[in-house]
Structure 1
Amino acid sequence: MASTLVLLLPMLLASLASASHNFGGSATYTYKGRNPDGTFKVDFRNRATYDGCQYSHYWYCYNGNCGSNPSNQVGVLDSSTNAPQYNREWCETETVSTRNVPTDRPFQMRADSCCWISNRNGLSNWRLLTSVDLGSRSDTGEPNHSPDVAILPFLRVPQNCPRTYKLMSFDPDGDRVRCRYGSVSDGECGTCNQPSGFILDEGSCSLHYLNSNADPSPYGFELVVEDFPQRHITLAYTDGGGDSRAPLTERRKRQHQPQPHGGAGAYTYTTYPGTTRNLHATTPPLSKLPLQFSLLVDPPAPSCQEGHYLPQFVHPTPGNGARIQAEISKEVEIRVKAQAAYATIQDIIITGPLNISKHRTSYDEFAIRWSPNLDDLGHHYPICFAVESVTGSAGSPLPGTTLSYHYHPSPSSQSGVYQSEMRCVLVDVRKEQVKSHVTCGESTMTVEVEKSSFRGLSEEHLRLSDPSNTACSLQSYSNSTHIIAVVPLNACGTQIEEDDENLIFKNEITTVDSTEYLITRKNQLEVQFYCQYPKHGNVTLGFTAHRRNVTVWEKGFGTFTYQFEFYPNAQFQTQIDPNDYPLEAAPYDNPNYWPTYPIIDNGCNVDPTVEIHSPAHQRQFQFSMEAFKFIGLHDQVYISCSVLICAAGSPSSRCSQGCLNSTSAGHQHHRRRREAATQTVRHFISQGPLRLRRAAESYKSPVINLNLNLVFIAGCLLAAVGMIGAVVIYKAKISRVKYQPLPAFEN
């Protein structure tokens, strides 16, 4: 018995730890068809939000036969540090689990534990309940499809700014959806205390915030989403049984709760003008889903006008409820932009399907990206988002306003965070409409479109964004089976932007009349394509004497190749044979190794003997210098450089600035600056090791390992194949050495 207790105790502690600090969660399910053994295949998507990314809800079979669970996928959807400070952050994860269910009779899954985050409406233990019915519907002939529900896990609103949140609740079967507060007696929630100052319209699934006092603890919401048929239907089960479902009946109720109006410090209470709909059910729902989240009431904002402190969405942000078409195996991108005159746009928070990602672009927009796979075909996925702005403090009032309130947050709590309205869109996944393939090269993008995937169009009626250059003609490379475009990265209307990870080059093929480039009367076709080139990473090819070409790459992305070579003279005609490099090891090839002797720093010549030569190609940088050696007992030395890529002609890029005066010397580290837009971060490459060659050594003779060291460089070339521009920083590296000129007889 004692040994049993020892084994169970760690499991109990882990369970309690993973259950603490819950912000909320949700669940949906998708019927995926019958397995070969006759069982029913169902995918469950369960979302959990905690104050860390390592936790998730544990679901178990609560009622009926829930079948087996052979597989799980878990991933992080989003996280943010703009939460109550004592909770550090919130992080939402999603678990996609596949269950093989032996019967189509109803069953229930549940997750429960302790505890909610500290909240204002007394929630302690949490409980989520999902009800599934796989009976065949008389109206569709298939099992029921659950509503697609979604909401951001952590919402925030200023105390004085009324707001309406439209919960995403799309039903693929066209059923009527009801959103209501949970019931303790039905096991749907832990406490089910309804927050004050809010009105829930069950029929439209709209949550209206009216008024409340600011507080550092959020409210917790424990809602239930159900679907009911629009008319009476029957359900048939494989065991011969059946059941019936009825539509909802509606009861309207006029609301008379007060609502604040005006800016901060000015409150005029009037009657809430809306009418809510309470929906009454006479039969069980077709499905029952939990939808739980947290909402923080912040101190009053200096202004409730969108676009002042509260971010206001602008073009090209899609409208709330928009339907977006996506194709399997192709990335769909949703562009979001917001503005705030008296605050700084900081971040976007999102929720959506597994593997969704967000990025901030160089155009002050956010890009939400997701790639559906074959298993997603025919399904619908809601994506919700909101943009957050910040000020240095609670914000400066607008001219002519007076700000006063009695909320005194602790010194550690955050202030001056403003969240926009929440918008949700629905992504419909369909088959590939136009078959195309994009190849990302070092200086071009090649797109191939199968003509058989669309009808009635030829290359004469298609064009790139800017076809004025003859190199941009689609007739140059197209053939009888494919429309082919080879698009330079800096021509044909190609647009360049960047996010934190990539440089992105975009273009599109659109329909035109052969003689009119502004309008078209042909069948419409629009193929948008882009190439992404990764920006981050130190790259080397180590442990050989001569460094071959180094390529920065990522699967499915384009590449830029850097080549670093030495030449015996300033004509740069014949590079030194790699076989002549004297050593076979490179123990000090490290971008952080110190000390170094700077040759070119921040684009400025540091060594007085450096000469810059005109290259034979615009993608090359050539320089030479007098040979020298390091003082000390070392027999090897390296030349290293740090390069970055810029968009040609961009006046704000680092490349356009040329030499910048630097205070760095041989004993000072180079300080990394924040790179401007349309350029990459620096990439580290190196070449070597190099050492002094004595007169007794012929150019092809075996290497004699002398205890000397030398930067042997009459000519040196850096080639960035596919580069648009470059800034280079060259340094010679060796351990604990000083610099001295090399005697003339050793040059």
Structure 2
Amino acid sequence: MCFPSTFLFTCLLYLVDSSHFRGGIISWKPAENNQIEINYRVAFRASFGHTCDENTIRNGTLLSGEGSLQCVEGCSDTITTMSYYCTDFSATEDWTSGTNSVKYNLSASSNNLYTFGFSSCCWISLVEGGSDWMMRTTANLTVRQDTGKINSSPISAMQPVVRFSYGCDYTLKIPVSDDDGDVVKCRWSTQTPNDECGGVCETLSGSYLDERSCVLSYNATRFTGWYAVALQIEDFQKSTDTAPFSSVSLQFLIFVGNSSSSCESRPVLPQNIITNGSIHHSSVYKIFNESIIARSGEATLRVTAIETVSPIGMIKSELFPYGTSGREWFVTVTWKPTKSQLGTHLFCYTAVDNLGQTSDQTCATLVVDEEVADTPEPDNLIVLNSDCNAFKTPEKVHTKCIEVTTGVPQSFYLATSCSSNFVQCNELGTGYIMRCVPGTEWCQHVLTCVHAGTCNTEG
């Protein structure tokens, strides 16, 4: 791969009418044959012609987007129209979200400043701060001295609409991931020296952004209504560096509304297999399958939805009651990644209750590896990955959990390929990875953890 020795590009997205735009992100990574792959996620108001359902996602239907992705500095290309594959939708919030990518040919030029992006007039009319807006993503494609490779930008993901209750304090963790292992920081988008956000720059007045941890803190006591959040996600070789390798635009909406319940009554997310910051490896054409459980914040409330930000092709089940408490519900997500999805993806989820209150967002990294030849798995073990924190074959877990919980004698536990871990099943066929305390290991024939090395002598 050959790039100019110094190559800086900025990405802008253009819309014709964006009053129903619900935010998005533009990121990129180097590709083969002197190309880069630009990835974008966009969200729109569903009732304005952006209709999506389970069949749309399952069939991989390409939806017509609005506007175009353009290079506006250092080049003058219209790269693509903003068509996208729907990945998620919300009937209650009236939004559709999806993603797509496009390969772009780079050419050596004496002008090394390149600008691509997405902009228009009029977000949603209620957003504080103004109407016109812009998204701008910038990257330096110089071969890095530390890795000898071209940099890849960081990635991020957020729900299109984040709901806050008036009078409550919030800390919103902005999920970030970087394939190069760089230091990632977050900052507010600005209008100078280059316009990164149009009329929605710094429109969440009174909030505080911790740039190093990418945590946004906000006391929702100013006004009710709609707010736009416009951020730049940037990667650095060292935390003390001031010049980023790239600057990725992330924008979404916050709605502050009145609630009759206390600030502590929001839904919560019990310990799931997919936890905040966890990493899950999958292979091309291998099924990734996990359940997500949510609990209402009060006994009188109920969870009505678990909203997701998903990779292309991930299917989410209906919402079902979980257990007998009357306060827990769950969905199951299933994904069979293709070869074009090799690499890193972010997956996020949020619980919503019948008052419109939302839980904190949980985000995990899904890594799709090259397909590897199948190796026989022992029938009496659940095989985990090398970190012992994810199932190698989730579909087998469901089958084995059903077998043991409906068998005679009935059991709820399975051994794993990691001696210090075991699987706890429920009667719905969902398995959870559990860990023995340090110094002990799982002993299947007594169904408990015992001192390491003593399993064969106890029974």
Q: TM-score, normalised by structure 1?
A: 0.45
Distance 1:294 1:488 in 2: 41
Q: 5 Å matches for 1:659-698?
A: none
1:698-727 residue CA offsets vs partner (Å, 9 max, x unmatched): xxxxxxxxxxxxxxxxxxxxxxxxxxxxxx
The answer as to whether partners of 1:171 and 1:177 remain within 8 angstroms in 2 is yes
Deviation at 1:122, TM superposition (A): 2.0
CA contact (8 A) 1:67 1:101 kept: no
Q: Secondary structure at the match of 1:121?
A: coil
**Residue 49 (structure 1) aligned to one of 24, 38, 43:** 43
Whether contact under 8 Å (2:126, 2:226) holds in the other structure is yes
Task: Determine if contact 1:49/1:91 at 8 Å carries over to the other structure.
Answer: yes
Q: Which residue of 1 aligns with 2:246?
A: 287
**SS in structure 1 of the partner of residue 317 of structure 2:** strand
Q: 1:131 aligns with which of 119, 128, 138?
A: 138
- Give distance in 2, aligned partners of 1:291 and 1:70: 19
Task: Work out which of the residue numbers 195, 206, 228 in structure 1 matches 2:204.
Answer: 195
TM-superposed deviation, 1:97: 1.4
The code of the aligned residue for 1:360 comes to E
SS at match of 2:357: strand
Encode CA deviations 1:260-319: one digit per residue, 9 max, x unaligned: xxxxxxxxxxxxxxxxxxxxx2x3x211111111001111442222xxx31111132533
Give the corresponding residue for 2:29. 30
The answer for the alignment partner of 1:261 in structure 2 is: none
Distance in structure 2 (CA, Å) of the matches to 1:312 and 1:204: 22
Residue-by-residue CA offset, 1:112-134 (whole Å, 9 max, x unaligned):
11220123422311211111322
Pairing of 1:621-636 with structure 2 (within 5 A): none
1:421 aligns with 2:357: no
| Aligned partner (choices 277, 287, 294) of residue 331 of structure 1 | 287
State how far apart, in whole Å, the 2-side matches of 1:62 and 1:517 are: 67
Q: Give the 3 Å change call, closer, same or farther, for CA 71–30 of structure 1 in structure 2.
A: farther
User: 1 CA distance for matches of 2:80 and 2:259?
Assistant: 50
Shift, 1:350, TM fit: 1.3
Q: CA deviation at 1:333?
A: 2.5
Distance change >3 Å, CA 41–CA 371, structure 1 → 2: farther
Asked if 1:320 corresponds to 2:276, the answer is: yes
Letter in 2 for 1:226: E
How far apart are 1:25 and its partner, in Å?
1.6
Q: Relative to structure 1, is the Cα distance of residues 324 and 365 closer, same or farther in structure 2, using a 3 angstrom cutoff?
A: same
Q: Is the 8 A contact 2:306 2:319 kept in 1?
A: no
Could you say if the C-alpha distance between residues 198 and 57 of structure 1 is closer, same or farther in structure 2, counting changes exceeding 3 Å?
A: farther
1:147 touches 1:169 (CA, 8 Å); kept in 2?
Answer: yes
Q: Distance in 2 between matches of 1:488 and 1:174?
A: 37
Separation (CA, whole Å) in 1 of partners of 2:261 and 2:270: 21
Answering whether residue 306 of structure 2 is matched by residue 348 of structure 1, we say yes
Contact 2:65 2:82 in 1 (8 A): no
2:414 is aligned to none
Q: 1:517 to 1:71 in 2, by over 3 A?
A: farther
Please tell me whether residue 223 in structure 1 is matched to residue 179 in structure 2. Answer: no
Q: Kindly indicate whether the alpha-carbon contact (under 8 Å) linking 1:464 and 1:492 is maintained by their aligned counterparts in 2.
A: no
1:176 Cα deviation (Å)? 1.9
Whether contact under 8 Å (1:42, 1:99) holds in the other structure is yes
Letter in 1 for 2:25: S
Deviation at 1:464, TM superposition (A): 7.0
Provide Cα deviations, 1:478-530, integer angstroms capped at 9, x if missing partner.
Answer: xxxxxxx9x9999743779xxxxxxx97899xxx99994748999xxxxxxxx
Partner of 2:411: none
Between 1 and 2, higher relative CO (CA 8 Å, sep ≥ 6) is seen in: 2
Alignment of 1:232-631 (within 5 A): 247-248=240-241, 281=242, 283=243, 285-305=244-264, 309-316=265-272, 318-340=274-296, 341-360=299-318, 362=320, 363=322, 364-377=329-342, 379-390=343-354, 416-432=355-371, 435=374, 450-451=375-376, 462-463=379-380, 492-493=403-404, 516=445, 518=447
Q: 1:505 to 1:298 in 2, by over 3 A?
A: same
Equivalent residues of 1:65, 1:102 under 8 A apart: no
Whether 2:92 is the aligned partner of 1:82: answer: yes
1:168 aligns with 2:175: yes
- CA gap of 1:71–1:32, structure 2 versus 1, over 3 A, is farther
1:101 alignment counterpart: 106
Unaligned runs of 5+ in 2: 1-13, 51-63, 323-328, 383-395, 408-427, 433-440, 454-459
Q: Alignment partner of 2:263: what SS? A: coil
Instruction: Please state how far the C-alpha of 1:198 moved relative to its aligned partner.
Output: 1.2
Letter in 2 for 1:25: G
Residues 61-100 of structure 1 deviation map (CA, whole Å, 9 limit, x = unaligned): 11225889589872112222334xxxxx122121221222
Residue aligning to 1:207: 216
Q: In 2, are the aligned partners of 1:106 and 1:131 still within 8 Å (CA)? A: no
User: Per-residue CA shift, 1:10-51, capped at 9, x if unaligned?
Assistant: xxxx9634x332221211112123x2xxxx222211111221
Change (3 A) 1:72 1:328: farther
Where does 1:171-186 land on structure 2 (aligned, <5 Å)?
171-185=178-192, 186=194
User: TM-score when scaled to structure 2?
Assistant: 0.71
Q: Secondary structure at the match of 1:137?
A: coil
What SS class does the counterpart of residue 16 from structure 2 fall into?
helix
Corresponding residue of 2:60: none
Alpha-carbon distance in 1 for matches of 2:429, 2:151: 43
Question: Cα–Cα, structure 1 residues 506 and 224, in superposed 2: closer, same or farther, change >3 Å?
Answer: closer
**For the residues of structure 2 that align with 1:205 and 1:119, how far apart are their CA atoms?**
26
Contact preservation (8 Å) 1:113, 1:127: yes
Q: CA offsets, 1:589-625, max 9 Å, x none?
A: xxxxxxxxxxxxxxxxxxxxxxxxxxxxxxxxxxxxx
Using the TM superposition, give the Cα deviation of residue 181 of structure 1 relative to its aligned residue in structure 2, in angstroms: 1.3
Q: Aligned pair in 2 of structure 1 residues 214, 368: CA closer, same or farther (>3 Å)?
A: farther
- Name the larger-Rg structure: 1
- C-alpha separation in 2, matches of 1:20 and 1:149: 23
2:421 matched residue in structure 1: none
Cα displacement (A) at 1:345: 0.8
Shift of 1:142: 0.6
Is the CA contact 1:311–1:388 (under 8 Å) kept in the aligned structure 2?
yes
Q: CA deviation at 1:194?
A: 3.0
The percentage of counterpart residues that share the same residue type is 25
Q: CA deviation at 1:146?
A: 0.6
Q: Which letter does structure 2 place at the counterpart of 1:493? A: V
Alignment-mate amino acid for residue 43 of structure 2? T
User: Do 1:224 and 1:291's aligned partners in 2 also have CA atoms closer than 8 Å?
Assistant: yes
Q: 1:515 to 1:201 in 2, by over 3 A?
A: closer
